[in-house]
Structure 1
């Protein structure tokens, strides 16, 4: 056993001496261990060439929420500048002249007209009384309060036994007269419009743009007695 032990020791000593001598350096078959820097390693992963299943296309309308339409800025600006007017009142030759002029500057779908009773003034009155006895009593009251200018409507109809106290061209004048009567203690007087049997025409304009509105304003000056007013668009 001692011989075997000494033999193994001798072999190890010889092997160690050979390794220290560098006899295997530069040999092409000698293993070379290179230092590895972990921070310089690049890991490349290649995806497997497995076909991917494509699902059925989804309709956009099912994904996107439906919102209110938004007008482009130029269109919104045009809509915001559209205006509506009424122009009147016209009868006879003036009506024909105005209609002919409007046909040249306003499209038919933006123009209409309506008829109204022609107001020729305003009157202040006391509503119809039930009989002649009531009329006589009311006239006595008026005289006692200093009102002597009146007229009793005797014509059969809805205004029979009404008492007219005055006729006026303007609403303001009629209203001022009523205020004077109240100061005298006459509180039953009213104001009403006096209309003629003939009708007048008012032109109605819906959604005119800036250019047409300007032309209409110029045309209105040719009819001094007419009134052009802005109204709400429907």
Structure 2
């Protein structure tokens, strides 16, 4: 029995010695927050959140999607403008996202130069216009009293016709005038669908060479596909 007590006391003393030296870890029941933080790894990198931040944690900003233009239309082109414009469009390479359409342009006011009496006279006047930098016109060849005259544009409103006449006058055209005339002229426009920002930049370079043409929404004009 004495031997049993001897060994029991020896084990107990050994246990107390190991506990006091810290070999058995820290068993303190006083385990409050500051004490626990001191024991954590990289405690200096911890960030305390406010109540608002805890309720609505910040999320990474959503990646901005590239802007895409649903449908852009440009026009209206005369027949003789089409080859040059389409040659430029080859660099855009939009495939089946690009199409040409027929636009019926009804106007009631014409800016024109009266009949020159003959084809030769009309050709001479056309040459003068080209030297002034004017190319958007055509020689009238029907059987009306305007035969061998030159049409410089037809417009839906008189105000638009007067503005065009004033621009021509500033360029040196003195014999043009405005007259009532209701005609339907077939012109052409182009539509570009799902155009990216990069494609729009390339398109703007092309469009700059055709300042008389107008950009618009695809639904702005009645048309039929050619």
Normalization by structure 2: what TM-score? 0.38
Q: TM-score, normalised by structure 1?
A: 0.37
Determine which structure has more spread, i.e. the larger CA radius of gyration.
1
